[in-house]
A and B are shown apart, each in its own frame.
Chain A
Amino acid sequence: AQSVAQPEDQVNVAEGNPLTVKCTYSVSGNPYLFWYVQYPNRGLQFLLKYITGDNLVKGSYGFEAEFNKSQTSFHLKKPSALVSDSALYFCAVRVSNRDSNYQLIWGAGTKLIIKP
């Protein structure tokens, strides 16, 4: 079955330290992968995507993600965390559905807490 997993419900990082939010996937064919962020009481905002090409993708707010085909992972990273990065992060993957259309399936989300 096609799926996406975020193995950590919550990640705690001290301000200034590097952060990683994990995502693994299982799809047939080439994956299209996305990261979104949700701040409290807001909708989701697009951060970055991997379609093809360079395995290291750079996105908004200093975030980047590394596509690893052999490990079927797409972890979100940032070299130096800010308190304002505290939010809920979602990984999503494009899949083909029963009608041969595409849709996104979403991970359960990871709550990122950056402590001063």
Chain B
Amino acid sequence: DVKVTQSSRYLVKRTGEKVFLECVQDMDHENMFWYRQDPGLGLRLIYFSYDVKMKEKGDIPEGYSVSREKKERFSLILESASTSQTSMYLCASSLYGQISNQPQHFGDGTRLSIL
């Protein structure tokens, strides 16, 4: 069965810290995504990657960066955390090189609080 694992379910960090969120998938999927989920706003795409070392900005990339050194792992980095980045972060993966019609498989999320 498809498995997307996010390293932390809950995380508390301080303003100004550099924060790393890790995501690993075991399905050999080409595409990987980072979203943030906020009540009433649905999911908003931060970054996505369609291959190793490739990345594309989503709708809200400001304040974030990503790294994909291996196919199975996609990391989200908050360069200098701010309280506005308190949110639920969801990682997902899907098949194929283009964002086509394949369903996305999600991890259980990381609830990040920035104090």
> Contact residues of A with B, CB < 8 Å?
9, 32, 34, 41-46, 49, 51, 90, 92, 94, 99, 101-104, 106-109
Contact = CB atoms under 8 A, between A and B. Distances in A.
Pick the most buried of B9, B40, B92, B103: most chain A CB atoms within 10 A of its CB.
B103
B43 interface: yes
Contact of A106 (B42, B100, B108): B42
B90 A44 contact: yes
Interface size range on B against A: 20 to 34
A109 B103 CA distance: 17
Interface of B: 4, 9, 40-45, 48, 56, 58, 90, 92, 98-101, 103-109
B97 to A, nearest CB: 10
A64 B90 CA distance: 25
A99 B56 contact: yes
Nearest to A111: B39
Given A43-B90, A43-B109, A90-B42, A102 B100 contact: yes
Contacts, number: 57
20 contacts: A9-B40, A34-B103, A41-B109, A42-B109, A43-B92, A43-B107, A43-B109, A44-B90, A46-B104, A46-B105, A49-B101, A94-B99, A102-B98, A103-B48, A103-B58, A104-B45, A104-B99, A106-B44, A108-B42, A109-B42
A34 B99 CA distance: 13
Pick the most buried of B56, B99, B100, B109: most chain A CB atoms within 10 A of its CB.
B99
Nearest to A91: B42
Given A101-B99, A102-B98, A103-B58, A43 B4 contact: yes
